[in-house]
Amino acid sequence: MSTGTSALGGLEHSRGRYAAGEPFARRSVEIRQNALGPDHPDVAADTAALAAILDGQGKYEEAEQLYRRALAIFERVHGPEPYKIAVNLSNLAALKQSTGQLMNLSGCTKRL
């Protein structure tokens, strides 16, 4: 079920229809979290996807919290170096740049 809702959220995101994709992305996070637990990498991936949708809508505060949550999960599971972490750091930096807060990344800028 989550894969389908995640795909629908991703489709709407790719079309630039962020508000339409948000309910699908939120449901996908909820389903995966209930099935796999809050610290599973699939939950982190869906959380990062939801963050991107929120970022696209200008909901920067919630998007940042979700990017950071996904990063924390990925780092616990994979360590500090893998690709998924780099992608999420890049997304977080883009969000901070768009809000004029690039220097407020709490240590993340050293890794970019």
15, pLDDT greater than 90:
no
Q: How confident is the model at residue 110 (pLDDT cuts 50, 70, 90)?
A: low
pTM higher than 0.95:
no
Question: Is the model's pLDDT at 67 over the cut of 90?
Answer: yes
The more confident residue out of 77 and 9 is 77
Least confident of 40-54, 62-76, 80-94: 80-94
Question: Cα–Cα distances in Å, from 112 out to 12, 16, 47, 63, 82?
Answer: 28, 26, 21, 19, 13
The DSSP H or E segment spanning 18 is helix 18-36
Q: Are 91 and 63 in contact (CB under 8 A)?
A: no
pLDDT score at 65? 97
**What pLDDT score was predicted for residue 105?**
55
Helix, strand, or coil here: 37? coil
Residue 59 has pLDDT above 80, yes or no: yes
Instruction: List, for residues 70-108, the tens digit of each pLDDT value.
Output: 999 988 988 877 777 788 788 888 888 888 776 655 555
